[in-house]
Chain A
């Protein structure tokens, strides 16, 4: 490593890593000191949370809960993409389809996914299918609307160029329309995945036997284990951060970067 590269890393570390680490450490210290002066029989100290997490890791249950939540999100989110992207394209390309479907989706979109929980339980019962359905609902409408809007905002000069070269039909779809909307679709996916992760925890709080949301409710109900509640919350946050980071990697693909530069 050259010295200038080493310096760059050093600066990056100083600017991007050190300040948040200090902030979080200070907050944990305040939490700890506060409890030292105001002991509580229920509210855990940071030390309790670490011991609780270790307990969950040792008996392996934490991996089952994480796996269950991630599996539900992947399934619900993938189903939503498979439905939303073709439907959004179809709406974007044909005005009749757009005029017919858009009002319906605009009405569905602002309904909180949590409001669908009773419907999900009625239709699918207290099963794995319910939270998957909720995640599907939470992401499918925004993704449809986003995809259709992306098609509408394709700059006509690109479509004209394709027409000028005598290229039409599926080749325009594959080589012009889809790549043109891809950057916006990826941003939509990133936001939707974040929403899915928010929603899965809420959905799992209702009468399920696995998942991080279940872990929170179960820990509280089974003897006020607030150390485990907070441990689960922190794990949820960290996994959310990781998922967002993975989606950000997609934004770095060369064929979509044009949209984000300058």
Chain B
């Protein structure tokens, strides 16, 4: 086994089909993807291409039919606390308060220390004052921030994010991106982000990967060499955006 210290996530020839009423549906068609330690990779692709399937395979919830998933060079067989998934529909427990959600994730360790830690991350996502609120008492954007805080409080090495902001309005989306960048500056996670918003990808990622339609493979890879904070109006940025959109067939 060749172990490359900077390869955090490595997918090799990953294939995945689903059985449907009309026979097997080939979703991932032998896909290769590498994410380096500390790198922020965004995946864009057509709807229904298999992006959610890909991230589920990467974080261990779905086993591939063929190919392998290596995390730190070691084959992965199931989910772990090392990599936390922020799913498309969200999974904050509605029967727990904001604080209880974070404490549930922390699970082990001394209670007093966990409460302190939870408070730190509640503050980080600017939810102080809502520790004892229930999710149904929060707005969509606040709920997403709870989800992010609950993932970050575990100090995972990898964050998997499946269209985390797509349900929010444009203004909130922009604000969440800025907050995410601010948080990532403090804690250096490896991030795999799925989005259908090319501008969001350019705003956040170090590298953008374009997925082909089903059966999906990686069709193109773009580096995003601009320093933060990024000005989306810069001509180089617009050029990059156009090339990516062209890859997507628009």
Chain A residues proximal to chain B, CB less than 8 Å: 157-158, 160-167, 171, 175-176, 179-180, 182, 254-259, 261-262
B87 touches A160 (CB 8 A): yes
Point out the residues of chain A lying under 8 angstroms from B79, CB to CB.
Answer: 160, 163-164
Which residue of chain B is the closest to A178 with respect to CB atoms? B95
Q: Report the minimum CB–CB distance from B139 to chain A (whole Å).
A: 13
Which residue of chain A is the closest to B134 with respect to CB atoms? A254
B87 touches A255 (CB 8 A): no
Q: Is B80 an interface residue (CB 8 A)?
A: yes
Given contacts A160-B87, A164-B79, A262-B136, contact A182 B107 (CB under 8 A): no
Given contacts A167-B107, A258-B136, contact A158 B93 (CB under 8 A): yes
B107 touches A176 (CB 8 A): no
Point out the residues of chain B lying under 8 angstroms from A179, CB to CB.
Answer: 93, 95-96
Closest 9 CB pairs of A and B: A258-B94, A179-B95, A161-B91, A157-B91, A165-B105, A258-B136, A166-B81, A164-B79, A255-B95
Given contacts A166-B80, A258-B135, A258-B136, contact A161 B93 (CB under 8 A): yes
Given contacts A171-B107, A258-B136, contact A164 B59 (CB under 8 A): yes
Given contacts A164-B59, A164-B84, contact A158 B91 (CB under 8 A): yes
Point out the residues of chain B lying under 8 angstroms from A158, CB to CB.
Answer: 91, 93
Q: Report the minimum CB–CB distance from B18 to chain A (whole Å).
A: 15
A259 to B136 CA separation, bound complex (whole angstroms):
9
Point out the residues of chain A lying under 8 angstroms from B104, CB to CB.
Answer: 162, 165, 167, 175
A158 to B150 CA separation, bound complex (whole angstroms):
13
Q: Report the minimum CB–CB distance from B55 to chain A (whole Å).
A: 12
A257 touches B136 (CB 8 A): yes
A157 touches B136 (CB 8 A): no
B136 touches A160 (CB 8 A): no
Give the one of B79, B81, B135 with max A CB within 10 A: B79
A262 to B91 CA separation, bound complex (whole angstroms):
17
Point out the residues of chain B lying under 8 angstroms from A163, CB to CB.
Answer: 61, 78-79
Q: Report the minimum CB–CB distance from A250 to chain B (whole Å).
A: 14
Point out the residues of chain B lying under 8 angstroms from A176, CB to CB.
Answer: 93
A110 to B105 CA separation, bound complex (whole angstroms):
43
Point out the residues of chain B lying under 8 angstroms from A256, CB to CB.
Answer: 95
Given contacts A165-B81, A166-B80, A255-B95, contact A157 B87 (CB under 8 A): yes
Q: Report the minimum CB–CB distance from B104 to chain A (whole Å).
A: 6
A162 to B154 CA separation, bound complex (whole angstroms):
13
B136 touches A261 (CB 8 A): yes
Q: Is B85 an interface residue (CB 8 A)?
A: yes
Point out the residues of chain B lying under 8 angstroms from A254, CB to CB.
Answer: 134
B91 touches A258 (CB 8 A): no
Q: Is B89 an interface residue (CB 8 A)?
A: yes
Given contacts A160-B79, A258-B136, contact A165 B89 (CB under 8 A): no
Having A179-B95, A255-B95, one finds 10 other A-B pairs with CB under 8 Å, namely A157-B90, A157-B91, A158-B91, A163-B78, A164-B79, A166-B80, A167-B104, A176-B93, A180-B95, A256-B95
A12 to B94 CA separation, bound complex (whole angstroms):
30
A262 to B139 CA separation, bound complex (whole angstroms):
13
Q: Report the minimum CB–CB distance from B107 to chain A (whole Å).
A: 5
Point out the residues of chain A lying under 8 angstroms from B93, CB to CB.
Answer: 158, 161, 175-176, 179
Point out the residues of chain A lying under 8 angstroms from B80, CB to CB.
Answer: 164, 166
Question: Which B156-205 residues sit within 8 Å CB-CB of chain A?
Answer: none
A100 to B96 CA separation, bound complex (whole angstroms):
34
Which residue of chain B is the closest to A259 with respect to CB atoms? B94
Which residue of chain B is the closest to A183 with respect to CB atoms? B95
A163 to B59 CA separation, bound complex (whole angstroms):
11
Point out the residues of chain A lying under 8 angstroms from B85, CB to CB.
Answer: 160-161, 164
Q: Report the minimum CB–CB distance from A185 to chain B (whole Å).
A: 12
24 A-B residue contacts at CB 8 Å? A157-B87, A157-B90, A157-B91, A160-B87, A160-B91, A164-B84, A164-B85, A165-B104, A165-B105, A166-B81, A167-B107, A171-B107, A179-B93, A179-B95, A255-B96, A256-B95, A257-B134, A257-B136, A258-B95, A258-B134, A258-B135, A258-B136, A261-B136, A262-B136
Which residue of chain A is the closest to B132 with respect to CB atoms? A254
Point out the residues of chain A lying under 8 angstroms from B61, CB to CB.
Answer: 160, 163
Question: Which B130-144 residues sit within 8 Å CB-CB of chain A?
Answer: 134-136
A211 to B216 CA separation, bound complex (whole angstroms):
71
B154 touches A165 (CB 8 A): yes
Question: Which B65-101 residues sit within 8 Å CB-CB of chain A?
Answer: 78-81, 84-85, 87, 89-91, 93-96
Instruction: Give a binary string over B35-71; 1 marks a CB under 8 Å from any A CB, 0 the rest.
Output: 0000000000000000000000001010000000000
Which residue of chain A is the closest to B156 with respect to CB atoms? A164
B136 touches A166 (CB 8 A): no
A180 to B104 CA separation, bound complex (whole angstroms):
15
